[in-house]
Amino acid sequence: MPTHNLSRRDFMKLVGAGAAAASLGGLMSRLGRARAQADINLDFIVWSYSVETILANIEKFQEKYPGLKVTLAEAAWPQYRETIINRFTAGTPTDVLYSGGDWLPEWAKAGWLVPLEDYFPQVLDYVPKTAPYAVSDMTYEGKLYGLPYYADTTSFLYNAKLLEDAGISAPPTTWEEVEAQCNKLKESGIAVPLALEFAQAMPTTLENFTAMVFGRGGELLDENFDPILDDPEGAAYAQLTWLANMNKAGLVTLLPHETDGVKAMNTGQHAFTVLYNYNLAELNNAATSPLAGQFKLAIMPGGSGQTYGFAKFYSMTKMAVDRGQDVMDAAWKFMEYFGGEVDGQYTVAKGWAVEKGLGFGQLPLFDDPDVQASFSQWVDVDVLKEQVSNARGRRQGVWYGIWAEAVRLELVRAVSGEVTVDEALANAAQSARDLKQQFG
């Protein structure tokens, strides 16, 4: 009906109906958004460590944010990098995940991860409250990509009672002193004084070696990511030669996993090891360790006082960005809840520290009374703080994750005597040069 034939009453009825329809449409739109918010699911993938704790934390997160749900997937630690790459290339839904400094350049350059600060600038407020080595690990091309799940140092641990029984008054400060004390311990009945997690399949192998090289004040790569580990005058060459000689002399046992390292130390037949620091909490746990109280942390031998510090962290994917702002906002809430400060507390990071002895990048936790009380049961906190202050991240280009697999193979081959130190480090260096040429 043409509008010019409508009566005033009919026109007002239509206007009223239109307004009601518009109001109803607005209500339905709001309800639709509310339903969409309630239906937001985040796909989160981790490696297989304490999954029951992760699930408990997810449950608490969902209670705080009832409209958000989290679907958890896990992968075995040795296959984690490969699993994540397969997920990304296959387009398997992945919104947030555990990442690490060794993988970040590769995954960020591929466009799979996004810099948090580009979407949530408030993440930069955490930088001054985070250990510098952790910030370094979470940064690529000057931008921050995460918040810490776990940040720690690779540590030199020793059985103080075995040293005392052998007449050794203090832990070693150089690798030459480590060897001398091992010989003395062997004379006192400790057949193989040094136990190391050192296996081709384990990413930790290269991290342990890196920490030892840092103890000598050295590097594996220079500022331009060119390899220097094959320099016969360098720290890496010296350390690998030392390890090969220790194995040849029967002073070290090589183990496939850190759990084997903890078990070995608990036999009382090994005095020294190099492990992630949280293993000291396990070793000094009276509920599970028969030799609890005997183990201590020493500054990494080598003379520099340095060790390798690293962060594993929560990152957001490009898939989450592509799903829209609501999903991004949910991902930020998730990452801040798990890796940041909510309601004045670093709740999740503190829980990992107090309950599991995990290290943390969130520096305010060092002043938390509960953390201090918990940590003091298994570590000299002052020595730990000194170690943390001297820890540094490693240099790693976009190809580091690929290179690490080749280096681990060469390290194990050299220590076992299958190839010479020169051959192993020459192969590792050539691999780095080839990868740099391929990937930049």
- Is residue 83 one of the residues assigned to a domain? yes
Beta strands in 95-249 (DSSP E): 96-100, 139-140, 143-144, 147-159, 194-197
Give CA separation, 67 vs 120, 208, 331, 335, 348, in Å.
20, 42, 12, 16, 20
Ramachandran region of residue 379, left (φ > 0), alpha (ψ -120 to 50) or beta?
A: beta
Let me know whether 399 and 371 are in one domain: no
Give CA separation, 40 vs 87, 94, 266, in Å.
20, 13, 47
Let me know whether 218 and 298 are in one domain: yes
Let me know whether 393 and 353 are in one domain: no
Average of per-residue pLDDT values in the chain:
91
Q: Which token pair is 227?
A: 């390899």
* 8 A C-beta contact, residue 379 and residue 297: yes
- Is residue 31 one of the residues assigned to a domain? no
Average pLDDT over residues 199-203: 90
Let me know whether 127 and 264 are in one domain: no
Closest C-alpha among 433, 431, 399, 428 to residue 205: 428
Residue 304 has pLDDT above 60, yes or no: yes
Let me know whether 262 and 273 are in one domain: yes
Let me know whether 414 and 292 are in one domain: yes
Let me know whether 229 and 144 are in one domain: no
- Bridge partners (DSSP) listed for residue 313: 99, 148
Report the DSSP pairing between strands 147-159 and 272-276.
Answer: antiparallel
Q: Which token pair is 198?
A: 């050192």
Q: What is the pLDDT of residue 95?
A: 98
Average pLDDT over residues 93-104: 95
Other beta carbons within 10 Å of 286? 11
pLDDT of 362-416, one tens digit each?
A: 999 999 999 999 999 999 999 999 999 999 999 988 898 889 999 999 999 999 9
Q: How many domains does the chain have?
A: 2
**Which CATH number fits the domain that encloses residue 248?**
3.40.190.10
Element (H, E) at 47: strand 40-47
Q: What is the pLDDT of residue 20?
A: 40
Average pLDDT over residues 77-101: 96
* 290 DSSP 8-state letter: T
Q: What is the pLDDT of residue 38?
A: 52
pLDDT of 11-21, one tens digit each?
A: 333 334 343 43
With tokens 């918010």, the residue in question is 37
- Is residue 7 one of the residues assigned to a domain? no
Let me know whether 162 and 130 are in one domain: no
Cα–Cα dist 359/350, whole Å:
9
Let me know whether 429 and 296 are in one domain: yes
- Is residue 17 one of the residues assigned to a domain? no
pLDDT above 70 covers what percent of the chain? Answer: 91
Residues 6+ apart with CB under 8 A from 65: 330, 333, 337
- Is residue 236 one of the residues assigned to a domain? yes
pLDDT above 90 covers what percent of the chain? Answer: 86
DSSP string, 310-367: EEEEEEEBHHHHHT-HHHHHHHHHHHHHHHS-BTTB-HHHHHIIIII----SBGGGGG
Query: Is residue 74 classed as helix, strand or coil in its secondary structure?
Result: strand
* 130 DSSP 8-state letter: B
* 8 A C-beta contact, residue 429 and residue 229: yes
- Is residue 4 one of the residues assigned to a domain? no
Q: Give the predicted TM-score (pTM) of the model.
A: 0.81
Cα–Cα dist 355/32, whole Å:
41
Let me know whether 159 and 54 are in one domain: no
Q: Catalogue the long-range contacts made by 222-230 (C-beta closer than 8 Å, 24 or more residues apart).
A: 222/395, 223/395, 225/395, 225/396, 225/397, 225/432, 225/436, 226/432, 226/433, 226/436, 227/428, 227/429, 227/432, 227/433, 229/425, 229/428, 229/429, 230/422, 230/425, 230/426, 230/428, 230/429
Domain end: 375, 395, 421, which one? 375
Higher pLDDT, 31 or 70: 70
Q: What is the pLDDT of residue 440?
A: 78
pLDDT of 323-368, one tens digit each?
A: 999 999 999 999 999 999 999 999 999 999 999 989 999 999 999 9
Cα–Cα dist 55/378, whole Å:
26
Let me know whether 275 and 393 are in one domain: yes
Average pLDDT over residues 195-222: 95
Q: What is the pLDDT of residue 435?
A: 96
* 8 A C-beta contact, residue 159 and residue 190: no
Let me know whether 263 and 412 are in one domain: yes
Its domain, for residue 345, covers 40-151+310-375
With tokens 């090994």, the residue in question is 270
